[in-house]
A = this chain, B = another copy of it.
Amino acid sequence: MYKGGFTGKILRLDLTNQKATEEEVSYDLAKEYMGGVGFAFKYLYDEFKPGTDALDENNKLIFAVGPLNATGAPCANRMAVAAKSPLTNSIAAAFSGGHFPDELKNAGYDMIIVEGRAAKPAYVSIADGQVRFRNASKLMGMQTTDTQLFIKDELKDHNFRVACIGPAGEKLSPIACIINERRAAGRKGMGAVMGSKNLKAIAVRGTGKVNIADPDMFKEKRKVMLNAMKNSPVLYPEFSKAGTPMVVDVTTGLGILSIKNWAETGQRDMVPKLGGAEQDKYIIDRAFCANCSVGCSQVKMAKEGPYAGFLSEGPEFETVYALGSNCGIDYIPAIIAGDRLCDEYGIDTVSAGVAIGFAMELYEKGIITDKDTDGLELKFGNDKAMIEMLHRITYQVGLGAILAKGTKLAAKHFGQGTEEFAINIKGLELPAYDVRGAKAHGLNYATAYNGGDHCRGYAFQEIFDIPVPEKVDRFATKGKGILTKWNQDVRLVTCDCATLCGFVLDMAVPDIACQNTADLFTAATGISVTAEEVEQIGERVNNIARLFNIREGFTRKDDRFPPRLMKEEIKGGASKGQKISQTDLDEMLDEYYDARGWDKTGTPTVAKLKELGITKVD
């Protein structure tokens, strides 16, 4: 049907009956949904029984790579892990890079659909198309590095790549993640969905090769992208050397790095100790995902002090925020240790850090006391308490068992107006960028299909002053609806379907992202698409996601901000005085819905769905 790009095969794993079946990737699916999250959401939308609980065995957990994985396309090495989220109850996808995704592709699969629930703890091995269901009893409770190693031992080949959950996922914490190598499909509780299926891990070994339909064209288009990357003033010169923590300085400059549970954004005292120059002192290595020439991930290690010996691939910017500034902690070794522990435990650093910051504020305000913390002095800045809380969250001990459910449910538990301090949207704890000083970030958080998630439509225009598609005023609300639609659609298709790395998109090819993706996709697969069609795929999948959520009961009122952000203004720094109101939000939502061809309730119109070729509407 087509000569390359895809393996053409979808693997369906029925854990209940320990049955593996293969299905074909159809031409229409490939042309209309491209791959990655496009495939995953199309299947979820079609097959998910509305109203099913996220941790019910009838939820589906989907791992999907894209048409450019393992082709040699620069930085196209990621995968989507999708399901209904137990944290947001919406459709959701987390993404991870590293080497597992390409290994899966080389093993012969574009997508794995995991269904049912294993009677006993299980893991699945996939070696070049040979699928085995295996007993994971002995792996239960194991942290993620050990899990990977024990599986490789058992399979007698350490070149398997393993995606697995830690104890947090086994214990069904909705902030549990999935770890492959030292990378995380971090947010929205995909680890809990995996845990609910009694699936500890998937191990993959692939020695195959992906065909390229038009190798000459592919080579040429690949060069276009590599050149754009080379010409970026940021990508290699800065980002390669410092990675995402460089954004600590950028957001500090803009006054939008959130501090102490978002109460002290703009306060600058602590930030110098978290900034780039300080971060650099701990770098010992750079890590590269497959087919990456950038190597943004800075491996850091504490060599002395109480955290000596802790090492992590990261901590990335969002972790520096969540476990650092948001908890009032500016001791980098503690953040490195926390990052590593989150990876070992299999919990999302952002949700965990925001949950701890939330608890710290309640403790400082006296809403919770030593009785709740079992004597732990849970004050902002207490790094030992942060580390201890990560352990308690993972093993669901005392207060940890409450925070392990995320801030939304924790606030319900504590009552007394604590929702005010619960910094989440649709249940998903917010990333670092304070929306009051970056309005498109705010609108994206509010409307992203799986809650407050910067990666679903990152407004790089507001952060790096890149005038694509045009120059923006980060404080303005006007124009942010149109911008956010564009950001979300382009991001979804290029990063989450084609699985190109988002950093490359932001820093090197924002202006040519869709063209570039169209060209590489056409060359790799032999399925000809235009840039416009590519962008439309992004729009199509965002509409599918919206339809899924509407079916699950989501309405306009869920496209919201946390109450605190609409009550308080930013108190200091370069965004001092900035605020955001319900009126601001409503204006932005109206513009956004309009740009999307959705009605005032946020529901896609029949005309829009027809335009996108979406015929199934429940």
Contacts and interface: CB of A to CB of B under 8 A. Distances in A.
Interface residues of A, number: 28
A575 B93 CA distance: 65
Contacts of A306: 391
A152 B158 contact: yes
A285 B158 contact: no
A311 B146 contact: yes
A53 interface: no
A554 interface: no
Interface stretch (A137-145, A212-220, A599-607): A137-145
A301 interface: yes
A138 B285 contact: yes
Interface string A297-310: 00101011010110
A277 interface: no
Interface in A285-322: 285, 299, 301, 303-304, 306, 308-309, 311
Given A167-B308, A285-B150, A308-B167, A303 B159 contact: no
A303 B141 contact: yes
A374 to B, nearest CB: 12
A394 B308 CA distance: 10
B395 A142 contact: no
Contacts of A157: 159
A412 to B, nearest CB: 26
Contacts of A159: 157-159
A239 interface: no
A548 interface: no
Contacts of A152: 158
A339 to B, nearest CB: 14
A345 interface: yes
Nearest to A147: B311
Nearest to A99: B153
Contacts of A284: 138, 141-142
A32 interface: no
Given A285-B150, A391-B308, A145 B145 contact: yes
A16 B238 CA distance: 36
A391 B310 CA distance: 12
Contacts of A308: 141, 167, 391, 394-395
Copies of this chain in the oligomer: 2
A306 B376 CA distance: 14
Nearest to A159: B158
A311 B158 contact: no
A127 to B, nearest CB: 14
Contacts of A383: none
A539 B268 CA distance: 72
Given A159-B157, A285-B150, A304 B145 contact: no
Contacts of A419: none
A344 interface: yes
B138 A311 contact: no
Nearest to A148: B149
A500 to B, nearest CB: 23
Contact of A143 (B149, B167, B309): B309
Contacts of A311: 142-143, 146
Interface in A341-374: 344-345
Contacts of A285: 138, 150
A150 B284 CA distance: 11
A533 to B, nearest CB: 37
A141 B333 CA distance: 14
Contacts of A167: 308-309
A299 B158 CA distance: 19
Interface in A529-545: none
Interface in A120-160: 138, 141-143, 145-146, 149-150, 152, 157-159
A309 B344 contact: yes
Contacts of A394: 308-309
A306 B398 CA distance: 13
Nearest to A145: B145
A143 B309 CA distance: 6
A167 B311 CA distance: 13
Interface in A430-453: none
A437 to B, nearest CB: 37
A390 to B, nearest CB: 11
Contacts of A138: 284-285, 299
A142 B345 contact: no
Nearest to A141: B303
Nearest to A166: B309
A303 B394 CA distance: 11
Contacts of A304: 395
A149 B284 CA distance: 14
B344 A142 contact: no
A157 B306 CA distance: 33
A217 to B, nearest CB: 29
Question: 7 closest A-B pairs (Cβ-Cβ)?
Answer: A158-B158, A141-B303, A138-B285, A138-B284, A308-B395, A158-B159, A143-B309
Interface of A: 138, 141-143, 145-146, 149-150, 152, 157-159, 167, 284-285, 299, 301, 303-304, 306, 308-309, 311, 344-345, 391, 394-395
11 contacts: A138-B284, A138-B299, A142-B301, A142-B311, A145-B149, A152-B158, A159-B159, A167-B308, A309-B344, A309-B345, A309-B395
Given A146-B311, A304-B395, 15 more contacts: A138-B285, A141-B284, A141-B301, A141-B309, A142-B284, A142-B309, A142-B311, A143-B311, A150-B285, A152-B158, A158-B159, A159-B159, A308-B394, A308-B395, A309-B391
